[in-house]
Structure 1
Amino acid sequence: MSVVADDRLIEVAQSADYQWNGVALTNNNRMFVSLPRLLGDVTHSVAEILSNKTLSPFPGGQWNTYNPATSSENVENRFVNVNAVLTDSHNNLWVVDSGMIGNRTIVNAAKLVKINLQNNTVERVYSVLSLNPPQGFALNDVRIGSHYAFLTESGLGSVVIINLQTGQVRRVLENHPSTKFADPTVVRMEGRPILDEKGQPKKMHNNQLELTPDGKTLFYKPPFGYNWFQVSTSDLTNETMTESELGNKVLTSWKAMPTGGTTMDDKGNIYLMDIERQTVWQQSSVDGSWTLLIHDDRITWGDASDVSTDGFLYIPMSQINRLPGSNNGTNQIKKPFHMYKIKINSVSSGTTNVPVLILLSISSFIIFLMQ
């Protein structure tokens, strides 16, 4: 069988041992990755990819030393199971610790960690212990507003809001259908249905999210969902609003597809890592229409990506569909894990005169589906 490969997809780095599922870039070309604990007990959790392409544990010290088999105490000040990393315009790295290993929620482990990249030290830890997280609770990803952090919670399905000034934590939309896996969805990749270890369709709740550049609207979706949902951040942060009232403010938004990860550029365009078709789409900030960016067989569960200041989309390949928990109990991971980049037509703020990549129009999507 012929392999589809596009020379616009350029390899950036490899991870020989550790699975990665997210990348975060800074304006001065530093690159950080999240390394979840899905393949075993040992991982760096968070690493910086250095200029020589090696992975250096970050920020170092006790933060990167947790091991559930040999060293499992002090979970509030060590990375237990990191699921996401994000940089902001103030030179901070934000790290989401899901607090879950396997299917077990570890008490006091779920947290959002703020690391100051000027001195490479942890500046603040936002614990969600006040929520008394039930078993199954798992933080997933984060976007940062002016005074709030918005996080998806994928274990049970909800949105978590943290006031970054006071540290107050709230959990909302935990009973709303927008944050839940929609039965009877069955997603396929590489010719196989994505099944859990019991041979049942894999169920994943609220996962991806994007915050518009003006900070006014939050988009979110379960990874296997076919729609974005949206809600205003003013409604999310309105503590006087009941759950029912907030739920009525949620709108079904743009069409999407099963995605391994997403990111939004500074113009509000969303990049969708289409896991079924092994493609990347750009979704217009104006009308939600899709433009095909690339199709390549090397896109094996493109995950949480990021846009560089010089106009490249960086995509880590996490191979989640090959894990036993998504592959009917069989491990088909192929090491090393790869990171790629591709030139795009939208860039981070402050960059000008970037060549525009000619993309396929939405009509190409229809032709592509018919192949």
Structure 2
Amino acid sequence: MTKKINQTVLIVLLFAFGACQNTKQVKESKLHVIASSELQWTGVAVSQEGRVFVNYPKWSDKVPVSVAEIIDGKAIAYPNTNWNDSDKPDSFTAIQSVVVDKKDRLWILDTKNPQFKGVLESGPILYQFNLKTNQKEKAYAFPKGVFTANSYFNDVRIDTSKEIAYMTDSGNGAIIVLDLKSGKSRRLLDNHSSTENEVDSLICDGHKWKNSVHSDGIALSPDRKDLYYSALSGHSLYKISTATLVNEQLSDEQIAIEVKKVMTIPATDGMLFDKKGNLWLGGLEDNSINKIDANGKLVQVVQDDLVRWPDSFAEDKDGNIYFTTSQIYLPENLRQSYDIIRFKPE
């Protein structure tokens, strides 16, 4: 018993030490670093009350906590240490993203694929947490066939009007559609050209990052009529109507012909539609943040050395945009602290 308590305390201390407050404004920059960590994070989510959540992917053995809330600049295990103890049966395993939807529900996507060694027998799980009680409300599992042996469920968006979740599979390109009412899920656009990687490497800030990652970033249009997505290893932005994706009467071929290429974009990891209809994108190759405005024009908004692989995006109720820097392209010996950065779009 004493040994177990000591282990829990050690985890908390290690994790609290790994993140520290940093609210400084960078000189002559619109970027505010609100938190930093020695541990690599990917996803970021912001609630309607301004609570900030992050997740740490299980890409190595150095992941003492999977999901955390940033409180006073420090990362505190969320919802508690038990959920972040992978030795427990009902706990997080390999979290890739966190998202807060328009109903202020927190969604946590567990790939169940630690260190890319293959999906565990249980398969991926999408958790729904109640932010008022900090309790799990639901856990959605997926049958084999919807996930494959090397699946890596990456990002998720929630249509709160129809109660549908859309996810990308970046391990084996596809779009996953989950009916949150029935729990039924389907795998669509499996190995379609739009969900597969286009290149096998990117040159990011002078560093060659050699990898082939399929469908990754995903965004739901403000009117919920279209789903936008792209492969991480690529430069093409695609969209497809959500009416097509939820129509179970359509064949794979009928769904595929409804995919439309929107435009060529900078290589991006995550993406997000804001309240004004702008689609925010990263710029992995040149340390930038970009947007496609409501008129369809691609604009570079920020280019800054702080933007070291912008990974995921979130928006708060005041319209501030948040993103994480995961520095994936850099060798570990060249990485600096991982940041959560906030800025106010003009």
The TM-score bracket by the shorter chain reads 0.7 to 0.9
Matched, 1:62 2:82: yes
For residue 297 of structure 1, what is the aligned residue in structure 2?
305
Match of residue 13 from structure 1: 35
2:191 maps to 1:170: no
Shift of 1:286: 2.5
Letter in 2 for 1:303: D
Residue identity matched to 1:173: L
Count matched residues: 318
Task: Give the match's secondary structure for 1:105.
Answer: coil
Match of 1:262 among 244, 267, 271: 271
Distance 1:186 1:64 in 2: 33
In structure 2, runs of 5+ residues without a counterpart are 1-25
- Equivalent residues in 2 for 1:94-243 (5 A)? 94-103=107-116, 104-131=118-145, 133-145=147-159, 146-183=162-199, 185-195=200-210, 202-243=211-252
| Conserved 8 A contact 1:130-1:169 | no
CA distance in 1, matches of 2:241, 2:333: 41
SS at match of 1:236: helix
TM-score, normalised relative to structure 1: 0.82
In the TM superposition, what is the alpha-carbon distance from 1:123 to its structure 2 partner?
0.2
Work out the CA distance in 2 between the residues paired with 1:31 and 1:210.
Answer: 20
TM-aligned CA deviation for residue 190 of structure 1? 2.6
* Alpha-carbon distance in structure 1 between the residues aligned to 2:64 and 2:172: 25
Match of residue 342 from structure 2? 341
Which is richer in strand? 2
1:283-294 superposed matches below 5 A? 283-287=292-296, 289-294=297-302
* Structure 1 contact 5–298 (Cα < 8 Å) conserved: no
One-letter amino acid of the counterpart of residue 171, structure 1: R
1:32-69 CA deviation, whole Å, 9 max, x = no partner?
A: 0111112425331110001x211111112532111xxx
Instruction: Give the superposition deviation at 1:163.
Output: 0.4
Runs of 4+ in 1 over 4 A off after TM superposition: none
How much does 1:204 deviate? 0.4
Tell me the residue number matched to 2:18: none
Question: Does the 8 Å CA contact 2:147/2:187 hold for their aligned counterparts?
Answer: no
Q: Does structure 1 conserve the Cα–Cα contact (< 8 Å) formed by 2:218 and 2:270?
A: no
Instruction: Classify 1:331/1:229 alpha carbon distance in 2 versus 1 (closer, same or farther; 3 Å).
Output: same
Structure 1: runs of 5+ lacking an equivalent: 196-201, 323-329, 345-356, 358-371
The answer on whether the counterparts of 1:5 and 1:297 sit within 8 Å (CA) in structure 2 is: no
- C-alpha RMSD of the superposition: 1.7
Deviations 1:230-271 (A, max 9, x none): 111111011111111100111111321211322210122111
TM-score by length of 2: 0.87
Contact 2:274 2:319 in 1 (8 A): no
In 2: Cα distance, 1:203 partner to 1:165 partner:
34
